[in-house]
Each structure stands twice: as C-alpha cells, then as structure tokens.
Amino acid sequence: MNIELSICMPTLNRAAFIGETLESIVSQLEPGVEIVIVDGGSTDGTGDVVAPYVARFPQIRYVRKGEGTKASNAGFDRDCSHAVELAHGTHCWLMTDDDVLNPGAVARVLVAVRAGHDLAIVSCEVRDLQLREQLVRARPGLLEDRVFGAAEWDDFFRQIVVHLTFVGAVVVRRSLWFERQPEDYFGSGFVHVGVLFRKPITGTAIVLATPLIVIRNGNGQWNARAFDIFMLRWPQLLWSFEGVSDDAKRSVTPREPWRLLRVLLLQRALGRYSMPEYEALHDHLGSAWRRAVARCIACLPLGLLYWPARLYGHFKHADPRYFIDTLDEAVRFAAARRRISS
C-alpha cells in the first residue's frame, strides 16, 4: 500500500498521556496513513500502554530503544529523526506524545499533502494541563490558510518560526528531511527547525489556519533546562540560518537575549534563571555593574516576582491566559524541585 502520511512520534516516559494521544489519532486513521512510535527507553510503562494499540491497528509500529530515564535534547532529536527514517510515507507529521488531535485533523493534513506542498504547518489550540481551559484559541493566529514560496522565506520565518518551538506543528516531505543533514542539529532540541530553515525550500509551504492539535500546556520535559534551551540554544540556532535575513532574525529574537536585564528578570520570574545560570554567563555579561545586577536578579525570591510577572502577563503579553498558566506551572515546578532537594 502506498503510504502518504507517516505520523512520527518520539516518546519517553509518557504512560500517563500517550494513550489519550493515540486515541485521538486512531479514530482518524485511513488507508495510506501510518503511525511510527520511537520510544527512547521509557521506564514508566509507556510500552504497556502502546501495546494494545499496536495489536489492534496494523498501521502502528512501535520501536523501543535502550533503557533511559532522562530526557535530553540529543535524545529527542535523534528519536525524532529515527522515526522519520523508519517511516514509509511521502510526508511525515512530527507528532507529540501528550497532545491530542482535533476531529478531522488527519483528513485536512492529507489534503495539504496531496496538493504537493513540501511543508504543511499545523495551527494549534493551547489548553491547560487537563485540557479543560482554552488558553490560546489558535497559534499562529492566521485567519485563513496561506501558501509561502521561496521568495517569501523571510516572511514565512517571521510569522511561523516561534510557533515551531512546538514540534507537532510540522508536516514535512520525507525526502526533504534527509536532504538537509538532520544530524547537524542533534542536541539543539529543535532538529525540525534546523531542517526546515537550513535553506529556503524550492517548493511551497502551507500554513493551515484551523487549529488541528490541542496542546497540553505545562507538560514539557524540558522545564529544568528551559533557560539553556530558550535563551542559548534557540537564538543560536535561529541566527545560524544563512537563508534568513538578519532583520527577520532580529524581529524574532536578539542574538543573545540573556544580555538584556529585563529578559533575565522575566526568566527569573519563570524560575528559569538562578545562580547556576548566572555563573555560566558571568564572564560574558560585560561591565561590573551589569554582572552585579544580573547576580541580584538570580537571587531574587520567586514569590517577590510572581505578582509583577502576573500583571505583566495580563496587560502586556499577547496571550495573557497562556502566560499566566505557564507562570503558575513554573511556580509549581520550582516548589516541587525545592521539596526534592530538601
């Protein structure tokens, strides 16, 4: 059978969520669609949850790698690319293991695949951890589908790249994936972004405006590494793309956002910046007064920053409920980490 779409799902220790994810997908399976799950070495029974689905649906393949208990950038990137290697589809949808598809999502993506686009970017709805409260109606907030060509690459980058911190938004032609040396981006945490923006595509990319995925906010396995990921690796990756203008890059992120004290203050409020991060940056912060201020920020009590950050989110952030939910999750994560350390 000709496979048009492979839903590629790297996973690690998601026994509590992957069943709900699969349940939202299997009801939409049709001929020409498969699911490829690469387990990085779960120790929580993820394989036991997946097994009944593999038994019921021949379109599902489950591959388990070596034992592992710790999520890492390199692990995610390698498993993501490995799932694409194992896929038989002309296009691969890089699906997450804890979010859910809206009804009709697979059918809509198949329409985009059959139209011949190299890329399809899937819009998403963001909800809270229990998937009850809607935090963001649609991300990105396009009113209608839009097709981008190589001549519009800067515009595509500006509008879409921040959304692509969520890997489940990406549907990519499989042959394009391997033309762009994904292994060069192992360890970045964003292998999919590296592959997409390494150079402009020669074909077309379509952004689907209707939200097809519901994101479960506050369930990331990267919380303890958030500063390293979003303040160091993310901007370093974006500024490495030669096919994107500096103006477009600058509109998305400064080359070194951690040099901005207001950014450090917000990162501290989110529990991502503390003395270990300060020590790592110390020699790069510049003047003595900047180092002193950065050190003070790293030592500020999180409780002191909570309400100012909440007010910032309410009045200044583009998605207030999303920001406040993320802030509350950061507070819970910091409290749990303190309990463990004590």
Task: List per-block mean pLDDT (blocks of 10 residues) for the chain, which spans 342 residues.
Answer: 94 96 97 97 95 98 75 81 97 97 98 97 96 95 95 97 97 97 94 96 96 92 83 97 97 96 95 95 94 97 93 94 92 72 60
Q: Say yes or no: 147 and 260 in one domain.
A: no
Q: What is the pTM of this model?
A: 0.93
Q: Count of residues for the chain?
A: 342
Q: Say yes or no: 74 and 147 in one domain.
A: yes
Q: Say yes or no: 242 and 212 in one domain.
A: no
Contact partners, residue 204, CB within 8 Å, separation at least 6: 116, 117, 118, 119, 147, 148, 149
Residue 64 CA to residue 81 CA, distance in Å, equals: 14
Q: Say yes or no: 202 and 131 in one domain.
A: yes
**Tokens 């990105």 appear where?**
140
Q: Say yes or no: 209 and 233 in one domain.
A: no
Q: Say yes or no: 23 and 149 in one domain.
A: yes
Q: Say yes or no: 264 and 328 in one domain.
A: yes
102 DSSP assignment: P
- Check residue 159 and give its pLDDT: 96
Type of residue numbered 136: V
- Check residue 338 and give its pLDDT: 65
Residue 218 CA to residue 331 CA, distance in Å, equals: 11
- Check residue 261 and give its pLDDT: 94
Note down the domain range covering 308: 224-341
- Do 6 and 93 contact (CB within 8 A), yes or no? yes
Q: Say yes or no: 20 and 89 in one domain.
A: yes
CA-CA distances (angstroms) from residue 133 to 136, 323, 333?
9, 13, 20
Q: Say yes or no: 211 and 246 in one domain.
A: no
Residue 214 CA to residue 199 CA, distance in Å, equals: 29
Contact partners, residue 205, CB within 8 Å, separation at least 6: 117, 118, 119, 120, 121, 147, 148, 149, 156
- Check residue 332 and give its pLDDT: 82
Give the CATH number for residue 105: 3.90.550.10
Q: Please identify, among 189, 216, 243, the residue that sits at the C-terminal boundary of a domain.
A: 216
Q: Please identify, among 191, 216, 241, the residue that sits at the C-terminal boundary of a domain.
A: 216
Q: Please identify, among 172, 191, 216, the residue that sits at the C-terminal boundary of a domain.
A: 216
Q: Say yes or no: 238 and 138 in one domain.
A: no
* Residue closest to 217 by CA, chosen among 128, 139, 135: 128
Q: How many CB atoms lie within 10 A of CB 125?
A: 20
Q: Say yes or no: 19 and 154 in one domain.
A: yes
How many domains are there within the chain?
A: 2
Query: In this predicted model, what pLDDT tens digit does every residue of 111-130 receive, in sequence order?
Result: 999 999 999 999 999 999 99
Q: Say yes or no: 47 and 190 in one domain.
A: yes
- Do 191 and 10 contact (CB within 8 A), yes or no? no
Query: In this predicted model, what pLDDT tens digit does every residue of 40-88 receive, in sequence order?
Result: 999 999 999 999 999 999 999 999 987 554 565 668 999 999 999 999 9
